[in-house]
Amino acid sequence: MNGSAANVNRGQANIVGAKRGTLSLVIEEAYLLMGVMAIAFVSHTYNMFNYPLYLGDEGIYMEQAWSVLTDGKLSPYTYFYDHAPVGWFLLAWWGLLLPGKLLAFGMAINSGRVLMAVLHVASTFFLYRTTKKLSGSDMASVAASIVFSLSPMALFYQRMVLLDNIMVFWILLALYLIVVHGDRVLTLIGSGFAFSMALLTKENAIFFAPVFAYIIYSNLKGKYQFRFSAVGWMFTMLAIVSLYPIYALLKSELLPSTLQGLGSSQSPGERVSLIGTVIWQMGRSQGSILDPNSLFWEFSLRRWWPKDSFLVAIGFASVLVALLLGLHERKHRKGLLYASLLSLAYIFYMARGSVMLEFYVVPLLPFLAMTIGMMMARIFQLFPGRLIQTSVFTIALFAIVYGSVQASRDHYTLNLTQVQHNQLQYIRENISPDAIMIVDDDLWVDLHDGGKNYPSYPNAHSHWKVTGDPEIRDKLLKNDWRNVDYVIVSNKLPETLQINGEKLVQDAIANSTLMARFEKGDVAVEVRRVNKPGRTPPAQTPQRGTTPQRNR
Amino acid sequence: MTILILGAVIFSILLSAQAAYTIYLMIYTWDRPEAYKRAKAPEEFLPPRKTFTVLLPARHEEDVIQDTIERVVQISYPRELVEAVVICEAGDTGTIAKAEEKIVEMRGRGIRHVGLVTFNDRPINKPHGLNKGYAQTKNEVITIFDSEDEIHPDILNIVNTVMVQEEVNVVQCGVQLMNYETNWYSTLNVLEYFFWFKSRLHYHAKNGMIPLGGNTVFFTREVVDRLGGWDEKNLTEDADMGIRISVMREKVRVVYDDRYVTKEETPPTLNQFIRQRTRWNQGFLQTLRKGDWLELPTMDQKLLALYTLAFPFFQSLLGLYVPVSFWMMFNVKVPVLSAIILLIPMYFLMAHYVINVVGLYEFAEAHGLKPSLAMPVKMLIAYMPYQWALGFAAVRATVRELRGINNWEKTAHVGAHRQGSVAAVGVNPNYGKGS
């Protein structure tokens, strides 16, 4: 489009030629874009209801979305500001659109996974266009989108219903609006809105904020609309984020109930509060990058490396090279610098040593992919001639595609969630709806909401809440495992219980008999009945003040 | 109580929507830089072709009228293509004497294109004066300058170029208050002008519904003839003129170029500021009641006209909303979601303040000024009182309009009206027959 404007003085023929050139480029890009979006869609949807295993965390977000839809509450249990709720608002809104609500695709988590696939396709669009705009290269944008969609590690986590995936969608949207449509104030305001959604979905998006500020500054400085755009972004972002503490204030849950709550690293007490939770979170550390036993190294070496050594090795190497190259050429080309800074901002978050789960790597993945794509394009541009460049690039891309698909065969073929389907089926057929059950969150919504055909189990409670929520632990169970009828477990659960010291649940399991067990590979799930040799009377003075353990 | 809360929630949503729209109009040219670029003054001027009539309506301006005349004379455009007339009511002997003195003095210097028109019939107001002056002149393009205006010497070259090049018949050039540091309300007042002329008017022009300003506006004689002149019953004859021009589907070109704006000052006292604002608001309400805007071609234009002319109502509502919502926050038990919705207009109010601060720096940059660091703080302190002053003027205008008081308040200070003979001095034999 700019090309045709620049050619105005060169006569009519040139204008037409330039327009045609631009048009064919637009069409070419449209084909590429549709191609990578199709790959993104197929890779993320094919077999997605079967693999990976339904994770407890996915269940938690689904149950909170369910609670929004059915009760108009932020959580079926006491909401204690562990996360801002916009992520599951989106899930709830999605459920509202679906004809069968959250059960539209079978088990509840499935409907969440469909949304994740939709968001991923949208995220791929944003990533493609942003990378293209920053690098000017189709190679870079195609490679980035392919790595983002096919990398085994990305595929594994991005299929799951995780707040991180929703946050990535908002972050990429915010970035896209700045980079691709930054010439208008309204788009910057839109970007600020998207960034606030990211923050209110998962607060660690805050680590991207300094880089975003830098990108806005360096992209718009000196332009006519700079002041209004920058201030518009910032104001919108802060204004919307501020609604969260205002919500807490209106509920009288902003400040901790006691002054001891401030400044102590103790868990939030009986009365929940936003500030209390934030302070408690900041006090939790599991070792920084300097500590060889920290989770950063644990996950890097034991979980991420085996899943996807290509992405980890090439990704981190690209980030370092891109940073050096980007700093060197920052005057005239910003792409590499932006991509590497965005990656580094999040690596910094992970490396500084807070509580971490293995899927916390998710927000880093699009930016690793972007950096890899840009670096690949830079390397292949060193080859002489467009034909050779394209050929070499295509071969390399096919190698990546082939390697990725090979490495993620399980994703496309294995049916792991079958065990959870069977487990659910067994409960529905063998356990009465009024039974008191301890469950992991993966089955929670399906147990509480049987739809038209199945009963609901109002007394099926998450083991986290059995341990941490006084409403369940003290009032319902009287702090006594003997008041539990059934425990629904997976073979991964005992380790979690051990780490978090969930004594009541452990006791219940220890005093239970196996009713059913479903296995596949190294996954096994069980239904157990608690043995009750003559119930003891309920505890007179329930112990109070223990920790709600699930907090991510 | 539920109904009260529900009403408040709906009201708050509507108020937020209108605030968002107002804010958008303020930042329109920054959002659409191409609109602003289009609205810039031409970089090169065409040779003078159009002839201009400069109308200088004056009332009790004896202190400044001579300077005003001098400034018009200093305009860099061939004098043979310009005629200028000072227009006074016959009883305003002070101004008339000063104007005559100046005209005589200029004749001594060989300058003969300035004259004086007086009138002694009613009503004594600006539109009537304009009609009188208009009838006594002959040049192709009519423009109006107020006595306190500081006009850019190239203004006629710009309009000549624009009119010839773009074949438009109506041009509105930028007017800008400059004294942003004089008193507590001047900063916000200056910025109101800044946003109005630099941004909002472009939006109006693009959408074919534009309330014109009172000076530095240019019409061809043919357009004024078709309109039948200025509405003498209207307190804002300028805005009314704009609506009627829009109804005729006449294209209006807005030129706002920081370099060429006509410079003015805020009213010196709060009292006068409120009077001026009352008059504008009431004029808008009159124009609204007159209903010409209903003949605008499209529904969008009608709505924009309705919104613009009824704005004084909205303004007073927003001014009243703040205390009421604060009261509700502490005295009414409101569900959390409703409480958050009730808060949203406050966010827009904050946004409005922030945009004003950004506007201050834009304004300062455009005119090579350096605002002090304390300025945003001063603006913050002045912000609500300023809104209340505007709200008060809006309420006052509404009351006056409902009670049928529609005199120009400026005349309230005037001494006994004198039915005198016409004082006429002029080069053009037609001048001075003002009755």
Report the 10 Å Cβ neighbour count for A406: 9
Helices (H) and strands (E) in chain B, counts: 15, 9
Q: Quote the DSSP letter at residue A546.
A: -
- What's the predicted TM-score (pTM) here? 0.88
Q: What is the pLDDT of residues A515-528, one digit of tens each?
A: 999 998 888 999 99
Alpha-carbon distance of B110 to A517, in angstroms, equals 112
Give the B-side interface with A, CB within 8 Å: 24, 27, 30-33, 36, 336, 339-340, 343, 347, 350-351, 354-355, 358, 361-362
Dihedral sign computed on CA atoms, order A335, A337, A340, A342 = negative
Query: Under an 8 A CB cutoff, do A239 and B350 touch?
Result: yes
Query: What's the confidence (pLDDT) of residue A110?
Result: 94
Q: What is the SS3 assignment for B401?
A: helix
Q: Is the pLDDT of residue A256 over 60?
A: yes
Phi and psi at residue A460, in whole multiples of 5°? -90, 115
Query: What's the confidence (pLDDT) of residue A499?
Result: 83
Q: How far is A249 from chain B (nearest CA, A)?
A: 10
Alpha-carbon distance of A439 to A461, in angstroms, equals 6
Q: How far is B351 from chain A (nearest CA, A)?
A: 7
Query: Which residues lie below 8 Å from residue A123, measured CB to CB, with a gap of 6+?
Result: A148, A168, A169, A172, A366
List b or e across B290-310, with b for residues whose CB sees 16 or more CB atoms inside 10 angstroms: beebeebeeeebeebbeebbe
Alpha-carbon distance of B429 to A229, in angstroms, equals 57
Q: How many residues does chain B have?
A: 435
Whether residue A220 sits in one domain with residue A149 = yes
Compute CA A407 distance to the chain's CA centroid, rounded to the nearest angstrom.
Answer: 22
A246: nearest CB among B343, B358, B362: B343
Query: What's the confidence (pLDDT) of residue B434?
Result: 33
Whether residue A216 sits in one domain with residue A146 = yes
Q: Quote the DSSP letter at residue A443.
A: G
A228: nearest CB among B336, B339, B358: B358
- Is residue B389 domain-resident? no
Element (H, E) at A516: strand A512-520
Q: What is the SS3 assignment for B55?
A: strand
Beta bridge partners of B52: B82, B141
B340: nearest CB among A232, A235, A246: A246
The residue in chain A having the minimum alpha-carbon distance to the alpha carbon of residue B351 is A235
Query: What's the confidence (pLDDT) of residue B305?
Result: 94
Q: What is the SS3 assignment for A190?
A: helix
- List CB contacts (< 8 A) between B343 and chain A: 246
Alpha-carbon distance of B221 to B206, in angstroms, equals 23
For chain B, the maximum distance between any two Cα atoms, rounded to a whole number of angstroms, is: 79
Tokens of B341: 């919705």
- Is residue A536 domain-resident? no
Whether residue A481 sits in one domain with residue A376 = no
Query: What's the confidence (pLDDT) of residue A374?
Result: 95
Compute CA B278 distance to the chain's CA centroid, rounded to the nearest angstrom.
Answer: 13
- Is residue A548 domain-resident? no
What is the amino acid identity at position B100? E
Query: What's the confidence (pLDDT) of residue A532?
Result: 78
What is the amino acid identity at position A180? V
Whether residue A468 sits in one domain with residue A396 = no
Residue A412 near residue A53 (C-beta atoms within 8 A): no
- List CB contacts (< 8 A) between B354 and chain A: 231, 235
- Is residue B300 domain-resident? yes
Query: What's the confidence (pLDDT) of residue B422?
Result: 32
Alpha-carbon distance of B139 to B397, in angstroms, equals 37
- Is residue A76 domain-resident? yes
Which of B23, B25, B26, B30 has the most A C-beta neighbours within 10 Å, making it the best mutation to test the interface with A?
B30
Tokens of A132: 């293209």
Q: Is the pLDDT of residue A546 over 80?
A: no
- Is residue B59 domain-resident? yes
Higher pLDDT, A3 or A122: A122
- Is residue A552 domain-resident? no
The residue in chain A having the minimum alpha-carbon distance to the alpha carbon of residue B329 is A250
A184: nearest CB among B31, B358, B361: B31
Query: What's the confidence (pLDDT) of residue A146?
Result: 96
Alpha-carbon distance of A48 to B5, in angstroms, equals 46
| Mean pLDDT value across chain A | 85
Which of B347, B349, B353 has the most A C-beta neighbours within 10 Å, making it the best mutation to test the interface with A?
B347
Domain end residue (candidates: A385, A412, A439): A412
Query: What's the confidence (pLDDT) of residue A120?
Result: 97
B347: nearest CB among A231, A239, A247: A239
- Distance of CA B403 to CAs A154, B277, B283, B323, Å? 72, 18, 14, 27
Alpha-carbon distance of B375 to B11, in angstroms, equals 33
- List CB contacts (< 8 A) between A229 and chain B: 30
Structure-token match 């001579």, residue found: B66
- Is residue A543 domain-resident? no
Query: Under an 8 A CB cutoff, do A185 and B336 touch?
Result: no
Whether residue A454 sits in one domain with residue A331 = no
Domain end residue (candidates: A392, A412, A432): A412
- List CB contacts (< 8 A) between A228 and chain B: 27, 30-31, 355, 358, 362
Residue A181 near residue A219 (C-beta atoms within 8 A): no
Query: What's the confidence (pLDDT) of residue B409?
Result: 56
Query: What's the confidence (pLDDT) of residue A286?
Result: 65
Whether residue A394 sits in one domain with residue A524 = no
Alpha-carbon distance of A428 to A425, in angstroms, equals 5
Query: Under an 8 A CB cutoff, do B31 and A247 touch?
Result: no
Q: How far is B152 from chain A (nearest CA, A)?
A: 24
Query: Which residues lie below 8 Å from residue B426, measured CB to CB, with a gap of 6+?
Result: B85, B103, B115, B116, B117, B432
Whether residue A339 sits in one domain with residue A422 = no
- Is residue A45 domain-resident? yes
Q: What is the CA radius of gyration of chain B?
A: 23
Q: How far is A10 from chain B (nearest CA, A)?
A: 23
A235: nearest CB among B30, B31, B351: B351
Sort strands B175-177 and B262-264 into parallel, antiparallel or unpaired: parallel
Whether residue A486 sits in one domain with residue A459 = yes
Angle of the B270-290 helix axis to the B375-402 helix axis, nearest 10: 50
Alpha-carbon distance of B247 to B301, in angstroms, equals 10
A185: nearest CB among B27, B351, B362: B27
Alpha-carbon distance of A189 to B30, in angstroms, equals 12
Query: Which residues lie below 8 Å from residue A7, measured CB to CB, with a gap of 6+?
Result: A14, A15, A17, A18
Tokens of B358: 């950004």
Query: Under an 8 A CB cutoff, do B31 and A246 touch?
Result: no
Query: What's the confidence (pLDDT) of residue A439?
Result: 92
Q: What is the SS3 assignment for A486?
A: strand
Sort strands B217-220 and B141-144 into parallel, antiparallel or unpaired: antiparallel
Query: Under an 8 A CB cutoff, do A228 and B355 touch?
Result: yes
Among A414, A340, A329, A348, smallest CA distance to A374 is for: A340
Query: What's the confidence (pLDDT) of residue A147?
Result: 95
Report the 10 Å Cβ neighbour count for A379: 16
Per-residue pLDDT of chain B in tens (435 residues, 90 and over written 9): 688 888 888 988 988 998 899 999 999 999 997 887 888 899 999 999 999 999 999 999 988 999 999 999 999 999 999 999 999 999 999 999 999 999 999 999 889 899 999 999 888 889 999 999 999 999 999 999 998 899 999 999 999 999 999 999 999 999 999 999 889 999 999 999 999 999 999 999 999 999 998 899 999 999 999 999 999 988 899 999 999 999 999 999 999 998 999 999 899 999 999 999 999 999 999 999 989 999 999 999 999 999 999 887 777 777 677 777 777 777 777 888 888 888 898 899 999 999 999 999 999 999 999 999 999 999 999 998 998 898 889 888 888 888 877 665 553 333 222 233 333 333 333 333 333
Whether residue A145 sits in one domain with residue A65 = yes
Tell me which residue range forms the domain holding B209.
25-306
Helices (H) and strands (E) in chain A, counts: 25, 5
Q: How far is B358 from chain A (nearest CA, A)?
A: 7
- List CB contacts (< 8 A) between A235 and chain B: 350-351, 354
Whether residue A360 sits in one domain with residue A284 = yes
Q: What is the pLDDT of residues A268-308, one digit of tens each?
A: 445 788 888 888 777 766 666 667 777 777 776 777 777 77
Which of B27, B325, B350 has the most A C-beta neighbours within 10 Å, making it the best mutation to test the interface with A?
B27
Alpha-carbon distance of A216 to A233, in angstroms, equals 9
Query: Under an 8 A CB cutoff, do A227 and B347 touch?
Result: no
Tell me which residue range forms the domain holding A486.
418-530
Cα dihedral: B258, B261, B267, B272 (round 10): -120
Tell me the CB-side half-sphere exposure of residue B192, using CA atoms within 13 A.
14
Task: Please give the share of chain A, as a percent, with pLDDT higher than 70.
Answer: 88
Q: Is the pLDDT of residue A355 over 90?
A: no
Alpha-carbon distance of A315 to A370, in angstroms, equals 9
Tell me the CB-side half-sphere exposure of residue A492, using CA atoms within 13 A.
10
- Is residue B58 domain-resident? yes
Number of CB pairs, chain A paired with chain B, less than 8 A apart: 43
Q: Number of structural domains, chain B?
A: 1
Q: What is the SS3 assignment for B323?
A: helix
Alpha-carbon distance of B30 to B18, in angstroms, equals 19
Q: Is the pLDDT of residue A2 over 60?
A: no
List b or e across A462-487, with b for residues whose CB sees 16 or more CB atoms inside 10 angstroms: bbbbbbbbbebbbebbebbbbbbbbb
Q: What is the pLDDT of residues A469-492, one digit of tens each?
A: 888 888 888 888 888 999 998 888
- Is residue B78 domain-resident? yes
Tokens of A145: 């989108």
Tokens of A326: 């980007």
Higher pLDDT, B318 or A548: B318
Q: What is the SS3 assignment for B116?
A: strand
Report the 10 Å Cβ neighbour count for B33: 15
Domain end residue (candidates: A386, A412, A438): A412
Mean pLDDT of A60-64: 95
In which band, very low, low, confident or very high, does the pLDDT at A108 lie, cut at 50, 70 and 90? very high
Q: Number of structural domains, chain A?
A: 2
Give the CATH number for residue B174: 3.90.550.10
Whether residue A425 sits in one domain with residue A402 = no
Whether residue A372 sits in one domain with residue A454 = no
Query: What's the confidence (pLDDT) of residue A534?
Result: 58
Query: Under an 8 A CB cutoff, do A239 and B36 touch?
Result: no
